[in-house]
Every structure is written in C-alpha cells, then in structure tokens.
Structure 1
C-alpha cells in the first residue's frame, strides 16, 4: 500500500482530510523518502481516486455562464491516424508509441475553453470498484466542483463521500494548477516540460539535459505529469499532447496489453515501475488505458486498500470521466 492510500484511508473518527492537510502530509512524506533536506514543493491538490480524460466538447451559454460538457463514452468518435501505417500489435507496442499516439489523437481532437480564476471546474466520474477477496462490485458516482484558483471552497467527493474543501491559505499553492495563467506558462515541448517540473520553477533550474535527472527526480516528474493528466480536464492548446509525450520519455514507463476498462473494452495500459519504491509496492498513477488502435484515452485502473493486518481489504478500481463543465458556482449543474 502506498503513502497516498494510507493518507486516504486514515480517518481516526474525524471528517475526511482536507486538501491542504493532504498536501502538507505529501510533502513531508516525500522529504522522508528522500532522506535529505530539500526545498518544499508546492502542495499537491488532488483527490487520490479522481481520474480525468478529455474527449470532445460541446459549449452552451446559460444565463451568462459558460458550460462545457464532455461525454467520453459517446459513439462515433472520430479517429486519429495512428503514427504508423497500421496499428501496432498489442503484444509488442511500446509505451512511447502508445503515448505518442495519444498525443497525436489529442492534438486532432482537443477542444480548448479557458475558465476564469473565479469559476469552478465540475467533473462527474464513474468508478467501478471490485473487492479482490469477495468479488463484490460497487459503483460510485463522484461529482466535484473545484475552485479554479483555489480562492473559494470546493466540493470534493471520493468514492461516494463528499465534503467541503476550504480555500487555499496565503502563500499556499497547489499542483496541478487549474488557473489558465499558470497552465499557459507550462512548456509545450515535452523535454522542456519535463525539466520545468523538477522544482516547478523553470526548465533551467538545475538540470540542462534529461541525462542528469536522478531516479528520485524521475519519480517526482512522473507524479507531477500523472497528476496533470488525471486532474485537469481542460488545458491550453498543445499542453496535453506534450504531457503525453513527456510521460513516454520517463525511464520505467511501460505498456501492458489486454487491460479492460470500466466499460469492458480491451485496451493497452501505460504504467510506471518506480525504482525509488520498495519491491512489490506501487506509486501514484496506476494504469492509463488507451484504445489500442486509435490511442484514444479510455479510463484508469487503480488499486485501493483499506484496513490493516487481517482486516485489510484490497480493491480494483476502474473509472472514467463521464462529463466535465465550467461553472460560476459550486454545485451549479451543467
């Protein structure tokens, strides 16, 4: 069980941890793992089981509010041309080929709508969770309204349970960012994007080339890229493709064939073998599942654990984003 699962499942009779507390705990855990003094990173603003994909977009104006809904499961999706003349075999496709294909698909089909800082990003996520011991299956519908710049209370749900997350405090940040100004500053070149994520300060902060990046830094870069792709449904043009390509450049990222998504479709999954973690443990990111021919993103596969010792239960989670929107208020329906 990784440290994120431990944070999520720790309740101690109290309400769920707010995002700020999770951020600070994450930073302390990374520092302990590194066993060295390092400058603190901006807090991580996330819900561990939230996974987000971007397909097409439909825009409508409703009483002055811009609402953008995305249906990731619709029929008749246009298909991007694969990078090769024919689709690669699911048995021999490389992670880089899949992610470059995903980048090509995103470039052809991405739709850009810029939210204002005072707005909210609404997401509706469907989660199918199977307990490994009993085979019991539960379905959860999680709806979230996240403040774009973190200045307002956000409504957060996790496997069916919801709570209000308080605004960011002074000098407190979040990763991944959702405000348009910060997202636009992220490089669209995959190598420069990787270098910019080392310390969130710029591409030339410490490393001049990818060859100088350590295993721990690669682990942190993967964490940042996976979070960006999972938690930000709408990005400036070119950023999502660059993030896919950057993910494919990380040592230890691999393709796993014949993976089922939440709708029963067979795809090829991308996952990461993190060399900084103990053998047998898994880090953040799980499995990104893609259509093996078009490389369209289908959904996520993750593991979750709760309890300790003999009482511990493990769950396989399959999920996908059903829709997202930009709203003016928390709990405003698209």
Structure 2
C-alpha cells in the first residue's frame, strides 16, 4: 500500500479512537475517497499521481478531446519581491456576509493579477507542455533539508506517453485509454472546454448538473458538494501549472467562493518570502486531520501567486517521517518532443 493510503487509514483509525463515530453517509464518503486515493497512488506508472502532494484521479469515462494549435517558448516565472483568518461564506447575491471576506479578496486579486499577466498559449496536439518545478523539503523531526528539481513533459492531446516527476523520481505516464479520463485533465482540448466563468466552473464540477443548467445556483450546493468542489479546484490549480487563457483566474475566483476557505497571514514560501496563504477547513474531514490542498501562498500586496506549502509522510510506525514541502513553478514551455528542453 502507498504512503498516502497508509496515512488515510491511520486518519480514519485515529478518528474512531478519539471522537464520536462517523455517521453512515460520512463514513461511506470517506471510504470512497480513501479507495480513490489508494488506487491512484499505487499506480504511478499509469498516471501522474504525486505522492502526498498531488493525487490525480484517472477514471474510465466517455468524453471527447478537442484540437488545439500554435506553439510557445520558455516562460520564466517572474520573481517580483515587492489577512486575517476570515473565511469565505456561502456565495449568493442575497447574502451580505459574502462581502469583503479576506480569503475571497486575496483570490479575486490573484485572479485579476493573473488576467493581466498571463501569457496566452495554444499548443498543437502533437506537442508537449514542459514545466520545471523547484521543491524544498524539510524533515519536521530533524530539520534536514533537501531540494529537488522536477521536470515534466505532458502530451498536449494525451495521445503520447508523458514524462512526469515527483520529488526527484520520474516515470512514464501512458496515454489515456479509450473512454478513460483524468481529473484534473492534462490534455489541452479538455482544459479548453472548462468554463472561464467562476460560477459556471463550479457548477460544471457537480456530477448532477452542467454549466448551462439554469435551474441550479450556488445557493443549492450542499456542504458535501462544496467539499468535493474544493477538492476538484485545488487539484486543478496544483496539478495543471499551465492552462488555457482565462481558466486559472476563474479557478482562483471559484476557490474564493467555497465556504471554509480562509486566509492565513505570515506564511513563508520556498524563497523565504512572507505572504498570505489560502487554505481550507473541510467539514467532511475530522477536525485536526487536515484536508487536501495545503496552502496556496500569495504576495501580501498584489496577491500574486508565489507557490505551495504542503506536507507529506513516508514510512510507518517507528519509521514514520513527516516533511514540509515548499514548491514553486520555475518555468514552462511548449516543446515538440518529450525530454526536449527549451
């Protein structure tokens, strides 16, 4: 069993020992997520699953892939070094508590910054999206630090095998099979189909509806559905470093609409800069156990995105080790061949 699967089992076991029992609906939902995580992380040769930090769900599902065109060059991520803990309330135009919440302000500002500075790109189907990520990992017990450089080459249309890395270890991810899809999607055609309006993006993530269903509104979303929506949005923002124009800003704004999202001040990023972080209190997970997504760290003035803060574990029992990971995207490009650097 993978480290993530062990962690999930430990969390459930400790919850039963320390708190009242889960109700049947919550227990079934926790089991479903556990099995999804276990099946994903135990098959790293078949997906881009990232241990601890980056789970990818690879699911058999009917769906088409649209074509995309054009090319790009290496984009170096800028290093401009120029809250309180309020939470986002349930969205809705009739609710006055929606106004001026810190988490939502940070994410709306991040969306505005992204719209102003994002580089439009439309790669060809036969190309690859290259990304270079820097990761700094600290052992929480010993304080020992280690750095990694992860380089990925993702097939644009998903028809070719991709090369993916996690904390210095790489593997080949095969193309999706017929009627198989992945969340978050990695192929450009599927990404381009996602709505760039934040409310429509949220509604499109619900299994029961689509972005054009006029009978649905954000006010009708249940607490459990908001938890699933956050899981999907956090995965999209963490696992897809390069997106079609307008999608990342929409995802930031959508994340700000999720009840339970909150701002945490004075968080350090991988370069030692102090920023404001956005995290999520998942009501479907026992208190103190944390949830998926970690911390999204933003520059405190412009709210430009700086990087991620996550935690992972390895081993078990007396050999259990806990790590804090700080990471950021160092650069990206569109290239013609896998393993080709710009």
TM-score normalised by the chain length of structure 2: 0.75
1:72 aligns with 2:70: no
Q: Alpha-carbon deviations, 1:214-242, whole Å to 9, x = none?
A: 22211211111112212223323222111
* Whole-Å separation in 2 of the counterparts to 1:325 and 1:4: 32
- Consecutive unaligned residues of structure 2, counting only runs of 5 or more, are 9-25, 41-46, 56-69, 87-100
Query: Aligned partners of 1:35 and 1:139: how far apart in 2?
Result: 34
Q: Which runs of 4+ in 1 moved over 4 A?
A: 7-10, 43-46, 89-93, 204-207
Q: What number of residue pairs does the alignment pair up? A: 284
- Aligned-residue CA RMSD in angstroms? 3.0
Does residue 252 of structure 2 align to residue 244 of structure 1?
yes
State the partner residue of 2:217: 209
Which range moved further: 173-182 or 275-284?
173-182
8 Å CA contact retained: 1:5, 1:305? yes
Give the stretch that moved more between structures: 203-212 or 268-277.
203-212
* C-alpha separation in 2, matches of 1:302 and 1:106: 22
Cα drift, residue 177 of structure 1: 2.0
Alpha-carbon contact 1:191-1:246 (below 8 Å) kept: yes
From 270, 288, 309, the equivalent of 2:317 is: 309
Match of 2:29 in 1: 33
- Cα–Cα, structure 1 residues 231 and 256, in superposed 2: closer, same or farther, change >3 Å? same
Q: 2:275 aligns with which of 258, 264, 267?
A: 267
Equivalent residue, structure 2, for 1:321:
329
Residues 166-214 of structure 1 show CA distances to partners (whole Å, capped at 9, x for unaligned) of 2211211112223333222222221111001112962256970112212
* C-alpha contact 1:306 1:313 (8 A) present in aligned 2: yes
Structure 2: distance between partners of 1:163 and 1:238: 30
The equivalent residue for 1:279 is 287
CA distance in structure 2 between the partners assigned to 1:118 and 1:206 by the alignment:
37
Equivalent pair of 1:102/1:241 in contact (CA under 8 Å): yes
C-alpha distance after superposition, 1:42-90 (max 9, x if no partner)? x985434469xxxxxxxxxxxxx9342222243589xxxxxxxxxxx56
